[in-house]
Amino acid sequence: MEDNKIIGVLSFQGSVEEHLAALEELPGVTGVPVKTREVLKQVDGLILPGGESTTIGKLLGIFGLLEPLRQRILQGMPVWGTCAGMILLAKDVVGEAPHLGVMDISVRRNAYGTQLDSFQATAPVSEISDAPIPLVFIRAPWVERAWGSAKPLLTLDGHIVAVRQDNMLATSFHPELTGDRSVYRYFRNMIG
């Protein structure tokens, strides 16, 4: 039997409960909310949820987690940013200051504009699953540019919306809002 792994969900704001509920469906995983440095030390991997990246970024600073989290990521802790979480990971945010600044990507916030604020799609992501996966975008960012060892996993209509760089995964979309758990299984495998 595989070891149980503790996957944290950064719990300041955004779709925290939805991620925790999804983690409950996964064998070999215990999901925990993370708001403090003490709990951050205990997790084997961390999900940065969707929400408002400016707010979550500020709260990371106020609660003293920005630097400890950056260090854990640089030391190799698997991390997965969804939507706002992708923005938090990026080394470059178009027109704004970066937050954690660890991933070799440039992201554009609210990239789909107001008219297409939110939409759904389905696409095959060969690295993640044999079956096409449902994609839910909510005022989503896209990746304008990926460099270094950041590898695009999915390009939709000419824009990168999923990227992997070593221990880091970022998706513009929200798997926690669908019944599909393939991205969770992929992230669980990143933890080993």
Residue closer to ligand GLN by CB (options 5, 69) is 69
Maximum C-alpha span of the chain: 48
Do residues 9 and 16 make contact, with C-beta atoms less than 8 angstroms apart?
yes
Contacts (CB under 6 A) with ligand GLN, residues 34-63: 50-53
Contacts for 25 with CB less than 8 Å, ≥ 6 apart: 181, 184
Contacts (CB under 6 A) with ligand GLN, residues 129-148: 138-139
Q: Which of 9, 59, 84, 136 binds ligand GLN (CB under 6 A)?
A: 84
Closest CA to 69 of 8, 153, 4, 138: 8
Q: Smallest distance, Å, CB 35 to ligand GLN? A: 18
Do residues 172 and 125 make contact, with C-beta atoms less than 8 angstroms apart?
no
Residue 183 in the binding site for ligand GLN (CB under 6 A): no
Catalytic residues: 83, 174, 176
Binding site for ligand GLN (CB under 6 A): 50-53, 83-84, 87, 109-110, 138-139
